[in-house]
Amino acid sequence: MVSSYPALNYKVIAKCSTTRARASILELPHGPVEGPVFMPVGTQASLKGVLPEQLDRMGCQIMLNNTYHLGLKPGKEVLHSLGGAHKLQSWKRNLLTDSGGFQMVSLLKLATITEEGVTFLSPRDGTPMLLTPEHSMELQNTIGSDIMMQLDDVVHTLTEDTRMEEAMYRSIRWLDRCIEAHKNTDTQNLFCIIQGGLNKKLREICCKEMMKRDTPGIAVGGLSGGEEKTTFCEVVHTCTGILPENKPRYLMGVGYAEDLVVCVALGMDMFDCVYPTRTARFGNALTRNGILNLRNQRFKTDMSSLEEGCLCPCCVPKEKGGWGITRAFLNSLVSKETVGAHLVTIHNTHFQLQLMRDMRSSIIKDCFPQFVKTFFSMWHNGDRSSYPEWAVNALRLVNIDLLED
Amino acid sequence: MAAYPSSARISSVSLKNKVLQTPCFIFPTSKGTIPHLTPDNINHNEVPVVYFGLEDSLDLLEKSPILNADGEIDKWVAGTPSQSILIAPRRSSPLPSVSAGPHHIQVLTSSGLRKLTNEVYVKAITKLRPEIAIPLNDNPSNAPGVKRKPKMIERSVTWTDELLTVLQNKQLTEKVKVFFPIPNVEAPFLNPLIERFRENDYQQNISGLACYGNLQSIPSELSIYPKLFLRPLLTPLAILQSIHQGADIVMADLVNQASDAGIVFTFSFPPPVEDLQNRKLELAWDMWHNRFATDLSSLQPGCNCNICQSYSRAYVHHLLQTRELVGWIMVQQHNIHVFHNFFCGIRDSIAAGSFLEDTERFERIYAPNFPRTTGLGPRKRGYQMDLTDVQPIENKPNWVQLKTETDDDKTSHMIQKKENAQEFQEPELPERDTTVGNFADTYAAQSENKSGSELEEDLLAELDEIDDSAYRENRMQSLKEEFERVSAAKEKGHMQYLTVESEREVMDLTTSSKRVVIHFFHPDFRRCKIMDSHLEKISKSHWETKFIRIEAANAPFLALKLGLKVLPVVLCYVDASLVSKLVGFADLGNNDDFDTPVLEFWLLKWAAIEKIKENIPQGKKSIMGFKDTKNESEDSDLD
């Protein structure tokens, strides 16, 4: 269960004996990444409110930047003269960039997709612009990300089958063009993206076609768009059943805690999502016992930390070298002071990274199923009746029964 | 060259776990945070003491969480463990307050004005136990009258005595050091204090002076005390001058202001060797400037701050340009470091006996002021907002630049007009001093429990700035509807120029009509009458806008919040947001006999009206029949 490419060595170091979960290591140009891994999203070359060095201190080994945004500001010329996005943000660890296509479709409703690429009106001056697989590669080559994503034809998961099929085949053709256009195979990895919506047949075809192209890693895309969770998990399960064991598997846009635990069990390695950091700015703190809405009146005089035993600097008491930040203090800060947002962002990012580290060590010790059960029990405060059905069903696919002792 | 009477000195103030070498600075916090910095981004050595304005956290006065939850003040400060905390009643450089009484002062909390009594304040100090406390004091923002001045002294003394008594009873005098508040009054008024300071309890329990006024008025008998100078100091030179005048500790507000503006300090003290080309050195750089876009060097050459060690100008420039919060974290960290070194330099210079000379050289070789910023600050929240210096919250749509065809001629015509208005507005935006602000935000920030979905919407709106098509569709739809409401507008009292009695009504009206123009007037002021005559005319032909007037005396809260000092003032609200403020006749040529269309153009510029109407009389107008060239600031003062 090893694979080797000029810019990526991948190794599965432990497999769960019950589920499909794997602990792995990705050797990338900017250091190792331990899987399963959550990648915080620094849309415009920064995680909002957190310095790159703070993120590094939290043990983050790979961060995501958005190609679309970097293409707008600072722009390709500036990135080129700076020598890429690592240089720009003084980030010593790895970077992953998306293709820019997703943002175009989600942010620009006027975008239209043709065989050539994505046509859209420039947000600068309204002139029609075209993003082709070649453009996307060129921009990502300039950014210099350690992992680049192919341009894919993104359609909503609930789109009818013929358009979905068209999108799936087009994504395969675009992958070929991306491979052709990719200039820095020695220092940058291109990942393909499996499309096909909720149609398992299409997903199967797509997996097989993409595997033929032998990219260093494989992403599953086109999910997390509000589809029914049971179907979503079935699609993930279908894909991980087909995809090769010896390559990293990246599930795009997924980052809720429950989703992470279930999808790791289903055999995915990499995740990204803006949710933990965005929700932090709204004053929502993630804890193992669920989500705290810090704006709530009941926290006004609550002098406890966000989560007892949490090792993030916010939660560690001052006597033990932390910052001793209380819920009451945050209640007085959220939506008033930027520092309030920064503090919760640090806590939530730590929560995500720690959740992944805990899953990893339980896989290595081969006690992952127990971890999953404990996680759900804590998340729902011991109330089994509130376990979501989709999670129970999905975990049954990999031999865990949450409702059994 | 200014001559400095030099009272500059080196001394020290002993605190719990440190000795402060003075001259030094205290860093102002906002709700217990050094703006933008989490504790790991604060260097304890550079910021040994922070200032906590208690008014920030007194929304519910004695019922406020800070006074009812367990723990002392350090639980409410995002700082380093060894940092000392000073509590004062009000923020550093507070917004103007209105009144005070024998037992209270008025403070501005994050949910509005409150009467803070000394009883509550003393309770707060004994509960929160800061290392340094400034007792409650009466320091009106505007120059006090002759009768008020002795009262200010009296109140400082009474309120300090009350605090000392309680501290003594609770045996807290060791823990909490008290800095006696010297009000902003002239020397003769302060002489009675000398006696008081000879008495035993002051000898034992007063550790310093908190100087709200001129340092030179302070009796020399009191010069043995460390002097904390609380007046705003806006330039490094002003700081040097205050130290020459005897300040031992000053407030670091200028660091926050510069950092918010994206201004990066480059000055040092003693100043570098003189530039022979006779060119003034810059005190700071505006990191918004495009010349930094590809500049990989550190913010300031040779600086060993954490930021300069790791990050480039290009990155900071990029972060500011994209309004990423990290940009301000970096600028703030660097500026604090430079500011700290500035004070180290001052102390060395005083010790070496060259302070006077170094100050003169500093004045000679550095530019007198910071560069004007070309960018926008971070988004401010209502309670910390000084409406004379804020930007509108900008989710500026790009849709106006897209050429669109539409069947509905009227709609497209209206869009065209809106475009014109935008074109007028564009060049004004970088001007920091245009007095625009988003009033809705002020209120939003004050409603404690804004729902989650609202906040999400705010943020998503920010994220979707580039979503031009959806925005355009929305706008077109709403403009269409607006047109259909022409007749409905009349029923809402448009086309009349009504006088409103209460500020509550004003606030309601700003949200009930799309465009509202409000004239704050004084019944006796001639210029207000001139304004009335023009607005009356305009209101008749502009059905799309609601025109109202309110006597400023009936709107004390708004007058305070908006910093209204000169009348007349005309405010324009569009979509419940304050888009512009006209103070006096400043924007109308500063001339009493302007033509009505001048005012009309001004309103159009801010989109407070739809378009110029033809049917307004153009003739000259002067109610009194003569021209007045007096500066409008002499016209009146609210107080």
64-83 of A, contacting B, C-beta below 8 A:
69, 72-74, 78, 81-82
Q: Give a yes or no: residue A78 inside a domain.
A: yes
What's the rounded mean pLDDT across residues B136-148? 85
Structure tokens belonging to residue B1: 């060259």
Contact across the interface for A337 and B33, Cβ inside 8 Å: yes
* Same domain (yes/no): A130, A216: yes
Domains in chain A: how many in total?
2
- Report the greatest alpha carbon distance in chain B: 86
* Same domain (yes/no): A266, A292: no
The answer to whether residues B89 and B121 touch, using CB atoms and an 8 Å cutoff, is yes
* Same domain (yes/no): A95, A110: yes
Nearest-5° Cα angle at A382, A377 to A384:
80
A98 annotated active-site: yes
The fourth-level CATH superfamily of domain B398-419+496-605 is: Glutaredoxin (3.40.30.10)
Measured between beta carbons, which residues in chain A are less than 8 angstroms from residue B468?
108, 110, 121, 123, 126
Mutation target vs B (from A51, A58, A345, A348; most B CBs, 10 A cutoff): A51
Q: Which helix (H) or strand (E) holds B208?
A: strand B206-211
Q: How far is CA A211 from the centre of its chain?
A: 21
Question: E strands along A211-300, which residues?
Answer: 217-220, 249-251, 270-272, 284-287, 290-293
Cα–Cα distance measured from residue B89 to residue B106, given in angstroms and rounded to the nearest whole number: 10
For B582, list phi and psi in degrees, rounded to 5.
Answer: -105, 120
Is the minimum CB–CB distance between B322 and chain A shorter than 8 Å?
yes
* Same domain (yes/no): A20, A120: yes
* Same domain (yes/no): A243, A300: no
* Same domain (yes/no): A225, A344: no
Residue (of A76, A42, A74, A37) closest to A59 by Cα position: A37
Cα–Cα distance measured from residue B358 to residue B105, given in angstroms and rounded to the nearest whole number: 42
pLDDT of residue B379: 57
Buried b / exposed e over B109-130, threshold 16 CB at 10 Å, is bbeebbebbbebbbebbbbbbb
Q: Which helix (H) or strand (E) holds B13?
A: strand B11-15
- Name the burial class of residue B5, with classes exposed (0-12), middle (13-18) and buried (19+) by CB atoms within 10 angstroms of its CB: exposed
**Residue of chain A with shortest Cα separation from B457:** A282
- Considering the domain B11-251, what is its CATH architecture? Alpha-Beta Barrel (3.20)
How far away is chain A from the Cα of B154, in angstroms, using its nearest Cα? 34
DSSP letter at B36? T
- Name the burial class of residue B174, with classes exposed (0-12), middle (13-18) and buried (19+) by CB atoms within 10 angstroms of its CB: exposed
Q: Give a yes or no: residue A388 inside a domain.
A: no
Residue (of A318, A309, A277, A315) closest to A46 by Cα position: A277
Residues B260-291: tens digit of each pLDDT: 999 999 999 999 886 666 778 999 999 999 99
Cα–Cα distance measured from residue B91 to residue B109, given in angstroms and rounded to the nearest whole number: 10
For B522, list phi and psi in degrees, rounded to 5.
Answer: -120, 130
Nearest-5° Cα angle at A180, A177 to A186:
135
400-459 of B, contacting A, C-beta below 8 A:
401-403, 445, 449-450, 452, 455-456, 459
Mutation target vs A (from B109, B318, B458, B460; most A CBs, 10 A cutoff): B318
How far away is chain A from the Cα of B455, in angstroms, using its nearest Cα? 7
CA distances from A393 to A376, A381, B544 (A): 14, 20, 59
* Same domain (yes/no): A172, A41: yes
Helix pair angle (B253-260, B325-351), 10° resolution? 140
pLDDT of residue B141: 75
Query: Which of A272, A301, A330 is where one domain is finished?
Result: A272
- Mean pLDDT over each residue of chain B, to the nearest integer: 79
Residue A203 pLDDT level (bands cut at 50, 70, 90): very high
Residue (of A314, A377, A367, A366) closest to A341 by Cα position: A314
Contact across the interface for B468 and A339, Cβ inside 8 Å: no
CB atoms within 10 A of CB B525: 17
What's the rounded mean pLDDT across residues B248-252? 97
What's the rounded mean pLDDT across residues B50-68? 94
* Same domain (yes/no): A222, A147: yes
Question: Which of A45, A53, A338 lies at the smallest CB-CB distance from B318?
Answer: A45
Q: Which amino acid is at B359?
A: T
Q: Give a yes or no: residue A387 inside a domain.
A: no
Helix pair angle (A200-212, A161-181), 10° resolution? 10
Residue B26 pLDDT level (bands cut at 50, 70, 90): very high
- Name the burial class of residue B24, with classes exposed (0-12), middle (13-18) and buried (19+) by CB atoms within 10 angstroms of its CB: buried
Position B417 pLDDT exceeds 70 = no
Cα–Cα distance measured from residue A330 to residue B18, given in angstroms and rounded to the nearest whole number: 29
Measured between beta carbons, which residues in chain B are less than 8 angstroms from residue A124?
398
* Same domain (yes/no): A284, A243: no
Of A98, A146, A259, A269, catalytic: A98
Residue B604 pLDDT level (bands cut at 50, 70, 90): confident
Host domain of residue A88: 9-272
* Same domain (yes/no): A71, A179: yes
Residues A310-358: tens digit of each pLDDT: 999 999 999 999 999 999 999 999 988 999 999 999 999 999 999 999 9
Position B603 pLDDT exceeds 60 = yes
Cα–Cα distance measured from residue A12 to residue A24, given in angstroms and rounded to the nearest whole number: 4
The answer to whether residues A270 and A39 touch, using CB atoms and an 8 Å cutoff, is yes
A401 annotated active-site: no
Residue (of B480, B512, B497) closest to B576 by Cα position: B512
Q: Give a yes or no: residue A2 inside a domain.
A: no
* Same domain (yes/no): A203, A125: yes
How far away is chain B from the Cα of A146, in angstroms, using its nearest Cα? 20
CB atoms within 10 A of CB B212: 22
Residue B394 pLDDT level (bands cut at 50, 70, 90): very low
Q: Give a yes or no: residue A1 inside a domain.
A: no
Structure tokens belonging to residue A356: 């992944």
Question: Which of A46, A88, A108 lies at the smallest CB-CB distance from B326?
Answer: A46
* Same domain (yes/no): A145, A294: no
Query: Which of A220, A239, A272 is where one domain is finished?
Result: A272
ipTM: 0.95
Contact across the interface for B322 and A69, Cβ inside 8 Å: yes
DSSP letter at B89? S
Q: Which amino acid is at A150?
A: Q
